Each structure stands twice: as structure tokens, then as C-alpha cells.
Amino acid sequence: MADEQELNENAAEEEGGKKPGKVMPLVLALVAAGAGGAAGMTFLGPAVAPALAARAENGGGGGNGGGGHGGGHGAPVETFHLLDNLVVNPAESEGTRYLLVSIAIEPNDQGMVETLAGLDVSFRHKLLTILGSKTVAELSDIGHRAELVEELKEALESLVGKGTIHRIYLPQYVIN
């Protein structure tokens, strides 16, 4: 009888390469992982999302709400207006090259950030016009970057008023 059982096991090994019963735990583990992920997305995700969103809105940090600097009173003051991910085809590039740029505008008066945000569309149009008139050689010359920044600052001040903008930054500047 023991010989018969051994023959059955050997035949099963030769057929599938594995003993029966070793596949079932693997299948169960995969099903359990899928069910756990689905349950987390369905039940846990919606319950935790508002708390995570509120934390992100208040600047992240730990659970004490103060961050260790003054008890967490008030909202953070915005000091820049960011024009993110402007894509420009440089002059004479026939659409084969592009500039991806983000521009941060720092006003002289922090209270002006909301005003700058209201001019976002006008700013983008003006910047795309200026940057699109430059050739790849002009845009990629690092020696003239300070002149370009000054030109952009003057162009934006023509829309919002001379002396309003303290500084312009180019935190993202990629030519391809």
C-alpha cells in the first residue's frame, strides 16, 4: 500500500514537476493580496484621504499641528507666483526643438502674490511670445541667462507696473 502511494506521488511529480498541494498556497496568497488591496482602496483609502489632504494643505509635518514653530497659527504666506511647465518652440527650430521652463516671480510686496496670480494668463502669453522669439543658441547660452531673466522681468513689469517684481527665478529650464 505504501508502495502504491509512493508511485502516485512519483507519477504526479513527473507529470507536473511539482507535488500536488504546493500550488494551492501560492494561489491563496495571491488571492489574499488582491483582496487586501481592493479592501484597502475601497474602505481605508476614502476614510484616510481627507486627513491626508488636510495635512498636505497645512504644509505636512507631524500630528501636533504646530510643526514646532509658533503653534501652527494661520496659513503659510505665499512669497512667489509660479508659472509652471511653459513649453516653447524656439525660433528657427521648425518645431523640432523645445524649451520647458518654469518661472517663479517674487514680488517686492508679499501681498501682491494674489494680484500676480490673477495675471497668470497674461504673464504666460507674454513669456511665451518672448521665449518663442529666441533661437536655440540664444536660449542655451548660459552666459546670457542673467540678461534673459532681466528681459523677462521687464516684460512682466510692463503688465503689472514697474518696480513691482523683486526677482525672477528659473527653477526648471530644459532645452531639448
Q: How far is CA 169 from CA 66, 120, 149, in A?
A: 30, 16, 8
Residues 171 and 174: their CA atoms lie apart, in Å, by 10
Residues 139 and 116: their CA atoms lie apart, in Å, by 25
Q: Could you tell me if residue 53 is inside a domain?
A: yes
Mark whether 10 and 51 lie in a shared domain.
yes
Q: Could you tell me if residue 25 is inside a domain?
A: yes
Q: Could you tell me if residue 85 is inside a domain?
A: yes
Alpha helices, DSSP H only, in 40-169? 45-57, 113-118, 120-132, 136-140, 145-160
Q: Could you tell me if residue 74 is inside a domain?
A: no
The boundaries of the domain holding residue 133 are 81-175
pLDDT tens digits, residue range 121-145? 999 999 999 999 999 999 999 999 9
3-state secondary structure (DSSP) of residue 88 = strand
Mark whether 87 and 51 lie in a shared domain.
no
The model scores a pTM over 0.75: no
Greatest Cα pair distance in the chain: 100
pLDDT tens digits, residue range 4-62? 555 555 555 555 555 556 777 777 777 777 766 666 666 666 666 666 666 666 655 54
Mark whether 97 and 26 lie in a shared domain.
no
Measure the CA dihedral 126/132/137/139, to 10°. Answer: 30
Write down which residue in 13, 41, 57 finishes a domain. 57
Mark whether 30 and 102 lie in a shared domain.
no
Q: Could you tell me if residue 39 is inside a domain?
A: yes
Q: Could you tell me if residue 69 is inside a domain?
A: no
Mark whether 92 and 43 lie in a shared domain.
no
